[in-house]
Amino acid sequence: MHYVLEGGGDALSEAGASLTVQSTPGDTSGFGGAAAVIEAAPYRQKRVRLSGMISTKDVAGSAGLWLRADAASGSVSFANSQRTPVSGNADAQLREIEIYVPAHADKLLVGPLLVGKGRMTVRALRLVVAPASPDDEVPPTRIVDEAVRLIRAHALNAERIEWHEEQADIARQMEQVHTAEAAYAVIGQVLAKLGDRHSGLLPPRDFQRFSSEGKPSFTPVVEVRERVGIVSVPAFSGTEKTAAAAFANELAGLIAARAGQASCGWVVDLRGNRGGSMWPMLSGLYPLLGHATPGYFRDRDGRQNAWKLASPGVSIPDLSAAPVVVVTGGKTASSGEAVAIAFRGRPKARSVG
């Protein structure tokens, strides 16, 4: 596939650059973009942020930004926005990416990226110095060594990894690792080898964002059909206490408001619940779960810690003896599965899906 680039401007200016990338008719595979080359010297040992407002038209793949630092040896730091792609027909979607620029970097490359067919426009494309991250000054080898120590000490499937060979492989990779971001990629590969399909890594900035926000994947819905209450439970992302409590109160309040009409029982619908923080979801379902311990965490040595639920801050009926059917699906995952587990062993509860 071929692409056409239009526009101009300066990514280092206050106004930024404005660029459009558009596919031409033909093969729908491939990608196209642009790269502005910037001298790295003013940004060495600093964190830089590339941002832009992305609009799309008929984008079948994805549109985003990319940012790279190069040295004589090749790429030494890289980021793109493909975790949060823009596709279809969208207007003015802000995207931001950051990297730490190592001391030996000699140039930065920045620009838009279009995967597949369609048209993308990025306006106010700017590169600026970003606030330092707590991990910028930590040697990458120290980050990886500490992560490996924790994995070996605590991971449920740690024995699945041949650690002598793994340490040798890590040492070879670390020869090309110069930033915390690259160290996190190495750690991610180790975690993947555990084979538990769940272990992951939240870098400091992602962890800070996760801790400071809280939002459901959709607005919780409770409706009654033929005297059966149907509770659609969204995933809840983030651990910010006020937002988590507000969500739990809303969900519990909706259940309480429909309790008088749901005389035949309840359906808890988790088919669209991909997980996040399970505590607000369980607290919101407190009217149906009641006071009993809903589950436990058990470590690899067999030690158990009971799940302790907080009662929501609203007046709720006791529906812990009402019939409940829990519905799961192919998208139910992580803490969504934990919510399903919480109903196992509850009287008059069944699971399907």
> What is the per-residue pLDDT across 183-208, written as a single tens digit (0 to 9) for each?
998 999 999 999 998 899 988 878 88
pLDDT of residue 184: 92
> pLDDT confidence of 178, banded at 50, 70, 90?
confident
**Residue 112 belongs to a domain:** yes
pLDDT tens digits, 109-139: 999 999 999 999 999 999 999 998 888 889 9
Tell me, yes or no, whether 116 and 151 share the same domain: no
Strands 324-327 and 349-352: parallel
CA distance 247 to 144: 37
Specify if 43 maps to a domain. yes
171 and 262 both lie in a single domain: no
**Same domain membership, residue 16 and residue 120:** yes
**φ, ψ at 44 (rounded to 5°):** -60, 140
> What pLDDT is stored for residue 208 in this prediction?
84
Do 224 and 259 share a structural domain?
A: yes
pLDDT above 90 (res 315): no
Are residues 105 and 33 part of one domain? Answer: yes
Residue 222 inside a domain? The answer is: yes
Number of structural domains found in the chain: 3
**CATH number of the domain enclosing 77:** 2.60.120.260
Q: Is residue 265 in some structural domain?
A: yes
What is the per-residue pLDDT for 226? 96
Residue with tokens 């040595």: 301
Integer Cα distance of 173 and 157 in angstroms: 23
Is the residue at 109 inside a domain? yes
Same domain? 274 vs 348? yes
Tell me the per-residue pLDDT of 6-22, one tens digit each, with 9 for 90 and over: 999 999 999 999 999 99
The larger pLDDT score, comparing residue 23 to residue 314, is at 23
Residue 210 is predicted with a pLDDT of: 85
Q: Which residues, 6 or more positions from 176, have their beta carbon under 8 angstroms from its beta carbon?
A: 73, 182
Query: Which CATH number goes with the domain that contains 246?
Result: 3.90.226.10
Q: Looking at the structure, do residues 68 and 126 belong to the same domain, yes or no?
A: yes
**Mean pLDDT score, 231-258:** 95
Domain boundary (171, 186, 210) is at: 210
pLDDT(106) > 90: yes
Domain end point (choices 130, 157, 185) = 130
Query: Has residue 28 got a pLDDT over 70?
Result: no
Beta partners for residue 114, in sequence order: 32, 63
SS3 state of residue 130? strand
Q: What is the pLDDT of residue 76?
A: 86
38 and 117 in a common domain:
yes
Across residues 241-253, what is the average pLDDT?
96
Report whether pLDDT(107) > 70. Answer: yes
Query: Cα separation of 255 and 170, whole Å?
Result: 51
pLDDT band at residue 352 under the 50/70/90 scheme: very high
Q: Tell me: the pLDDT tens digits for 39-79?
A: 999 999 899 999 999 999 999 889 999 999 999 988 888 99
Residue of 50, 45, 47 whose CA lies nearest to 34: 50
Do 347 and 221 lie in one domain? The reply is: yes
Q: Which residue, chain included where needed, has tokens 């048209």?
A: 119
Q: What is the mean pLDDT of the chain?
A: 93
Residues sharing a CB contact under 8 Å with residue 291, sequence separation 6 or more, in sequence order? 320
- Cβ atoms of residues 88 and 9 within 8 Å: no
Sign of CA dihedral 146, 147, 148, 151: positive
- Where helices occur in the chain by DSSP H, the ranges are 140-154, 163-174, 180-192, 204-212, 241-258, 278-284, 286-289, 335-342
| pTM of the predicted model as reported, rounded to 2 decimal places | 0.70
Are residues 126 and 36 part of one domain?
Answer: yes
Give residue 46's domain range.
3-130
Check whether residue 230 and residue 348 sit in a common domain: yes
**Residue-wise pLDDT tens digits, 152-166:** 999 999 999 999 999
Q: What is the pLDDT of residue 248?
A: 96
Reference 47, options 174, 187, 204; nearest CA is 204
Residues 62 and 175 in one domain: no
Taking 90 as the threshold, does the pLDDT of residue 142 lie above it? yes
Residue 135 lies in a domain: no
Query: Of the candidates 87, 109, 130, which is a domain's last residue?
Result: 130
Report pLDDT for 245: 95
pLDDT over 70 at 1, yes or no: no
Residue 81 lies in a domain: yes
Domain annotation covers residue 103 = yes
